[in-house]
Amino acid sequence: MFSIEIRGIVQGVGFRPFIYNLASSSGLRGEVSNNGYGVLILLDCKQERADEFIKNVRDDKPPLCEIDSIRITRIKKTKSFDGFSIEMSEGAKNLSSHIPPDIAMCEECERELHDKSNRRFEYPFITCTNCGPRFSIIRNLPYERKNTSMDEFEMCEKCSQEYKNPHDRRYHAQPIGCHECGPKLSFFDNKGNIIESENIIDKAAELITEGRIVAIKGIGGYHLVCDATNDEAVKLLRERKQRPSKPFGVMVKDIYMSKNIAPINEKEEELLCSNRRPIVLVKKREDNALSKNVAPNINQIGLFLAYTPLHHLILQRLNRPIVATSANISDEPLCKSNDEIMRLRGIWDFCLEHNREIVNSCDDSVAFVECEKTFMLRDARGYAPLYLKLPHKTDKKILALGANQKSSVAITIGESVVLSPYIGDLGSLTSIEHYKSHIETLKRIYEFEPDVVVCDKHPNYESTKYAKELAAQNQNIELLQVQHHYAHILATMGVNGIASKVLGVSFDGTGYGDEGNLWGGEFFVCNLESYERVGHFRYFKLLGGEMAIKEPRRVALSFLFEIYGEEVFNLNNATLNSFSAAEIKTLYTAYKNSLNSPLSSSCGRLFDAVASILGVVQVCSYEGESGLLLESLYDENVLESYLFSIEDGEIDFSQIFRQILDEKNSRIAVSKFFNTIVEIIYEMHKKYDLPLVLGGGVFQNRVLLKLIIRKIPDVILPEMFVSNDGAIAYGQAIAAASEFETL
Ligand SMILES: [Zn+2]
Ligand SMILES: [Zn+2]
């Protein structure tokens, strides 16, 4: 007899019925049950049949299942079996089991959705064992209906039969329901008046066609939706949302509709159609039918395919792309309840919602493909919670609090790190509350109490303040602070399973440096235990501190002051023209006396300086705008770069900036600037001759990524992961595990 223990995402994904059907159809005797680590199978058979069985498990496993390990051991025969059975493990709490992410509607459910003879025809919440909400509805482990927000809905007789039948494709599908017993839609206007209609979905589609803005409740939150081909509607949404130019995500009916908007390559198609259904950033077609207001002035667009049955039904009626943007206001969290969406009623005209509670909000994920590799800009729906590996063994329970922007938090369970979905920026009281509630959720689900709390070194990050608060409240908690850019490199090392000495290149907006300056253009020789800063961009003054982050012109002006001093007042260029003479005077005084002008080595800010001096953008309306605009200007045919020098590890950008000032053509300047950044990295890589590891938000820039991959093909990247501050919590967890390693 054999005992087979399988770990990974194997609970709540139809794994036991799969095992049951596989074993019974091959006439094997034994049983399958959930245990504390995953799934346990007992097989009463010969070695070769057990081996063959395992091979079939690996080859044919259900789509949502992910196997981390299979351990087979020969055991003494303790009982005899008549056939094969599923043993119920009621109440067996498994705190190391993986929570599956929310998954897009599967093909079989889609067929039933459109099949008039099916009892779930046009049922907007059709799901099965292989699809539907998971993470967003779970309150506690184990993942059973009574621990989800589906507990309010009592199954009808027919659903109950399906749920209990191991041969049914809805066997133990926790969110099972139908027209009779499951969640229901409601539709109302922004005064709260119920809109009467024979078919609510028809009515909602009709109003969208007329140019109205409709809030729609999806899986992990609400979207604000309008016709993406209607200039007026998109403009209205921008005005009401006070979002002048940040690109909107566009949802399409199917892959064919997406191909009318962008030329989609094979890898992008695979990602768009995957059951995780992220928003995928793709290059726009010039002649696409979208309103110019959807993603102004940039050559990319974020597309995603309908992923819930409700989205399918709406898009089927509309037969045109829709803007589907997260329902929130600027820095605030995504709306997930009726109360919250009612607060935004000034933005939408109508709201289509349902009565299945969203327990854990989860934004849409965002990804892109470059050089055949997939990168994430946001890890959320379809991916979260993410289970990552911890390179060190530690007995300590670690809570990692992340950064302050694009925040996410992580906890460690044994050798795994569980990473929360993207939470957002901690810029307001509500967003901080929301952040804390995500931590409470992880603590509740995993019955987790930290021994170690790890955070950033920045004293003013909300996450740092909270970490200190937690440590002050509980004497037993140890506090660890990890340098921001080192955490970026650790995260990339972690996802790639790298433990050796490397050259880490950490380029981002800004982060707190060891001596209190604002780092962001850093070269480290490091391993998982420690780092040495071997290079960085020479410090420049960030005029106005925080304000310089939103105003590229302040960074450019700082370089102009550095190069020309008082002569600046006799010059004429795009940066200077964006200020009044009085402003320049005031800023010059501030520059000379170093008033509110912290020193920075940030590479992200250099992109800003270039964007400003070339007249591309002076004041950003969203984060990363200058990088996106510069990408659109890059010309592949320009192969030259600017001269630069690295002295004692310091790269003086003003030398490069002078050459840009002399350039007449801005496309050439932008292209040479990109090429120069790559040459600098290449130079350092040659010097240290170590594996090259990249981290930090600057590497979300596709042009830069492409150029680096071409130049240094074996570069180690945060593939299938984020490179922005969403990665910090994972890097912090690795640092803490290294610090508190159990030998
Ligand atoms: Zn399904
Ligand atoms: Zn039912």
pLDDT per residue over 462-481, tens digit each? Answer: 999 999 999 999 999 999 99
Distance 120 CA to ligand 2 centre (A): 9
Does residue 142 have a cis bond before it (omega within 30 degrees)? yes
Which ligand sits nearest to residue 112's alpha carbon? 1
Residue 127 CA: which ligand is closest? 1
pLDDT at position 91, please?
A: 55
Cα of 174 to ligand 2 centre, how many Å? 12
Q: Which ligand is nearest to the CA of 129?
A: 1
Nearest Cα residue to 552 out of 595, 509, 588: 509
Distance (Å) from CA 261 to ligand 1 centroid = 28
Cα 280 to averaged position of ligand 1 atoms, centre (Å): 23
Concatenating the DSSP letter of every residue in 647-661 gives ETTEE-HHHHHHHHH
- Structural contact between residues 184 and 198, judged by C-beta atoms closer than 8 angstroms: no
11: pLDDT strictly greater than 90: no
CA distance 556 to 543: 10
What pLDDT shows up at residue 93?
62
Tell me: the pLDDT tens digits for 501-539? 999 999 999 999 999 999 999 999 999 999 999 999 999
Among the listed ranges 61-70, 642-651, 689-698, which one has the minimum average pLDDT value? 61-70
CA 436 to chain centre: 18
| Coil, helix or strand at residue 237 | helix
Nearest alpha-carbon partner for 294 in 209, 341, 223, 225 = 225
In this prediction, residue 33 has a pLDDT band, given cuts at 50, 70 and 90, of confident
Report the DSSP pairing between strands 249-252 and 322-326.
Answer: antiparallel
For residues 669-697, give the mean pLDDT. 98
pLDDT at residue 580 tops 90: yes
Ligand nearest to the CA of 64: 1
Distance 170 CA to ligand 1 centre (A): 8
What's residue 90's pLDDT? 55
- DSSP-derived secondary structure letter, 611: H
Whole-number Å distance, alpha carbon 113 to ligand 1 midpoint, is: 10
Residue, of 56 and 79, whose pLDDT is higher: 56
Q: In this structure, which residues have their CB less than 5 angstroms from ion ligand 1?
A: 106, 109, 128, 130-131
Q: Could you read off the pLDDT of 99-116 as tens digits, one per residue?
A: 889 999 999 999 999 999
- Please report the domains of the chain, with CATH numbers, ordered by start residue: 2-86 (3.30.70.100), 185-354 (3.90.870.10), 385-495+725-739 (3.30.420.360), 508-528+534-711 (3.30.420.40)
Rounded distance from Cα 163 to ligand 2 centre (Å) = 10
Between 355 and 99, name the one with better pLDDT. Answer: 355
The answer to whether 207 and 349 have CB atoms below 8 angstroms apart is: yes
Model confidence pLDDT, tens digit, residues 286-344: 899 999 999 998 999 999 999 999 999 999 999 999 999 999 977 789 999 999 999 99
Distance CA 387, CA 9 (A): 9
Does the pLDDT value for residue 278 go beyond 80?
yes
CA of 18 to the centre of ligand 1 (A): 15
Q: Which ligand number lies closest to the CA of residue 132?
A: 1
Q: How many CB atoms lie within 10 A of CB 432?
A: 18
Q: What's the gap in Å between 564 CA and the centre of ligand 1?
A: 65
Q: Dump pLDDT digits (tens) for 115-125.
A: 999 999 999 99
Average pLDDT, the chain: 95
The closest of 698, 707, 272 to 485, measured between CA atoms, is 698
* pLDDT on residue 13: 82
506 DSSP β-pair partners:
522, 695
Percent of the chain with pLDDT over 90: 89
86 Ramachandran zone, left/alpha/beta (phi>0; psi -120 to 50): beta
pLDDT reading at 74 higher than 80? yes
Residue 672 identity (one-letter amino acid): K
144 pLDDT higher than 90: no
698-737: burial string, b at 16+ Cβ within 10 Å, e else: bbbbbbbbbbbbeebeebbbbeebbbbbbbbbbbbbbbbb
Q: How far apart are CA 198 and CA 201, in angstroms?
A: 9
Q: What's the pLDDT at 38?
A: 80
- Mean pLDDT to the nearest integer, 236-250: 95
Q: Is residue 548 pLDDT above 80, yes or no?
A: yes
Least confident of 6-10, 225-229, 550-554: 6-10
Q: Which long-range contacts (CB under 8 A, 24 or more apart) does 186-192 make?
A: 186/352, 186/353, 186/354, 186/355, 187/350, 187/351, 187/352, 187/353, 188/350, 188/351, 189/349, 189/350, 189/351, 190/345, 190/346, 190/348, 190/349, 190/350, 190/351, 191/345, 192/342
Measure Cα distances from 26 to 20, 50, 60, 88 in Å.
10, 11, 14, 22
